[in-house]
Amino acid sequence: MVEPERETRIRRVAVLGLGTNVALAAFKLAAGLFGGSRAVVADALHSISDCASDIALLVGPSLWSRPSDSDHQYGHARIETVITVAIGLLLAASGVGIAAEALATLHIRGGERPALIALLAAATSVFVKEALYHWSLHVGKKVRSPAVMANAWHHRSDAFSSVPAVLAVGGAILLPSWGFLDRVGAVVVSIIILQAAFKIVRPALGQLIDTGLPEGERRAILETVARCPGVERPHDLRTRYLGPGVAADLHVEVRPDLTVAEGHEIAEDVRKRILDHFPHVVDVIVHVDPMETQDRRTANEQEQSPPAR
C-alpha cells in the first residue's frame, strides 16, 4: 500500500475513534448522572481516557512517516512501535483501574435503583465500541499497523468495561440487593483486558530490542535468494523490525572470478527479489563474498569453533 494512502486510512480510524469516544463519554456521563448510576459514570470516565490513544494515533503518522535525516538514518518508523507500547500500557492501566474499583466496592450489596436511561447508555456503548473494534482491527491488518490494531483492542476494552455497567444497572433495577455481582464480572473483564494488553506490548517491546523475523520466514527468504542466478550460497541473514516493516541484511557467495560490476548486479537482483516476494521487507543490504572451496570453508569453520577442552 502506498505510504500516503496508508497514513490517510490510519488518520481516518483515529478521527472516527476520537469522535465516537467523545460522543459516548458525553452520553454515558449525562445518563449516569441523571439516571443515578455510578457504574455508568465510571464507564464514561473510562471512555474519556480512551481518547488519549486516539489522539496518539492521530498525531502519530506525522511523526513516524517523516523521512530519514542525519540523526535517524533508518527513518522514524519505530515511533509507531513506541506508540503501540503506549497504547498497550494505557490498556493495561484501564484494566488495573477497573479491577481496583471493583474490588474496592465488592462489599457493597445495595444502592439506589437507577433509571433505564443509564442501562440504555451502557448497552449502546457495548455495541458501538465492539463494532468500532472490528472495523479498526480490519483496517489495522490491511495497512499493517500495530498501532491501529492496538487501538482496536483499546476500543474492545471499553466495550468490555461497559458489560459490568450493563450488569450493574440491570441487576440494580431487577434485584437491588445483588449489586455486588457486577463487581465480580468487572474483575473477570479486567483480566481479559490485561491479557489483551500483554499481547500488544510483548511483540512491540520485542521489536524495540531488535527481535528478528521467525525462523520460518527467514528460511523462506534464504530459499528465495538461493534460486537467484549467480548466487552460490546465501548465509548470515539478519532481520529486525522498523515499525510495521522489516530491514534485512545477508551475505551471498558468488564465483571469485566475477568482476565487481557482475557481483554488484547479482546483489541488486537479490535485493529486488526479496523486496518483490516479501512486501513487509522494506530495506535490504546484500554483502557479496567470493565463493570458498570446500577445503577453505572447512578450515574457516575450524578456526571459528571454540577449542576442545
Q: What local confidence, expressed as pLDDT, does residue 183 receive?
A: 65
- Mean residue pLDDT across the chain: 79
For residue 309, tell me if it sits in a domain. no
Q: Are residues 123 and 101 in the same domain?
A: yes
Identify the domain boundary among 208, 225, 251. 208
Q: Are residues 185 and 238 in the same domain?
A: no
Q: Are residues 203 and 268 in the same domain?
A: no
Which of 103-112, 243-252, 300-309: highest mean pLDDT? 243-252
Residue 245 pairs with which residues in a beta bridge?
A: 242
Which residues contact residue 282 at a Cβ distance below 8 angstroms, ignoring those fewer than 6 apart? 242, 245, 246, 247, 275
> What are the grid coordinates assigned to 14, written together?
483515529
Nearest to 233 by CA among 287, 302, 300, 272: 287
Q: Which residue has the higher pLDDT, 18 or 185?
A: 18
Question: What CATH number did the domain enclosing 236 receive?
Answer: 3.30.70.1350
Question: What CATH number did the domain enclosing 35 receive?
Answer: 1.20.1510.10
Question: Does the pLDDT at position 163 exceed 60?
Answer: yes
Q: What local confidence, expressed as pLDDT, does residue 305 receive?
A: 58
Q: Are residues 197 and 220 in the same domain?
A: no
Question: Does the pLDDT at position 290 exceed 50?
Answer: yes
For residue 159, tell me if it sits in a domain. yes
55 confidence band (pLDDT: 50, 70, 90): confident
For residue 264, tell me if it sits in a domain. yes
Question: Does the pLDDT at position 299 exceed 60?
Answer: no
Q: Which residue has the higher pLDDT, 300 or 21?
A: 21
Q: pLDDT digits over 61-94, tens only?
A: 666 667 766 666 566 667 777 877 887 888 788 7
Q: What local confidence, expressed as pLDDT, does residue 153 receive?
A: 82
For residue 293, tell me if it sits in a domain. yes
Q: What local confidence, expressed as pLDDT, does residue 251 receive?
A: 93
C-beta separation of 99 from 167 below 8 A: no
Q: What local confidence, expressed as pLDDT, does residue 186 receive?
A: 65
Indicate the range of 38-42, 105-109, 132-136, 270-274 predicted with least confidence. Answer: 105-109
Q: pLDDT digits over 247-268, tens only?
A: 899 999 998 888 899 889 999 9
**pTM, to two decimals:** 0.62
Q: Are residues 21 and 96 in the same domain?
A: yes
What percent of the chain is modeled with pLDDT above 70? 78
Q: What local confidence, expressed as pLDDT, does residue 250 receive?
A: 92
Q: Are residues 47 and 184 in the same domain?
A: yes
Q: Are residues 259 and 170 in the same domain?
A: no
For residue 156, tell me if it sits in a domain. yes
Q: What local confidence, expressed as pLDDT, does residue 295 receive?
A: 47
The count of structural domains within the chain is: 2
Q: Are residues 298 and 200 in the same domain?
A: no
Q: Are residues 191 and 43 in the same domain?
A: yes
Q: Are residues 102 and 199 in the same domain?
A: yes
Q: Are residues 147 and 243 in the same domain?
A: no
For residue 27, tell me if it sits in a domain. yes
Identify the domain boundary among 208, 240, 263. 208
> What are the grid coordinates assigned to 199, written together?
499481547
Q: Which domain holds residue 81?
A: 3-208
For residue 99, tell me if it sits in a domain. yes
Identify the domain boundary among 190, 208, 226. 208
What 3 state SS string does the chain have? CCHHHHHHHHHHHHHHHHHHHHHHHHHHHHHHHHHCCHHHHHHHHHHHHHHHHHHHHHHHHHHHCCCCCCCCCCCCCHHHHHHHHHHHHHHHHHHHHHHHHHHHCCCCCCCCCCCHHHHHHHHHHHHHHHHHHHHHHHHHHHHCCHHHHHHHHHHHHHHHHHHHHHHHHHHHHHCHHHCCHHHHHHHHHHHHHHHHHHHHHHHHHHHHCCCCCCHHHHHHHHHHHHCCCCCCEEEEEEEEEECCEEEEEEEEEECCCCCHHHHHHHHHHHHHHHHHHCCCEEEEEEEEEECCCHHHHHHHHHHHCCCCC
For residue 103, tell me if it sits in a domain. yes
Indicate the range of 163-177, 181-195, 266-280, 287-301 predicted with least confidence. Answer: 287-301
Question: Does the pLDDT at position 244 exceed 90?
Answer: no
Q: Are residues 137 and 258 in the same domain?
A: no
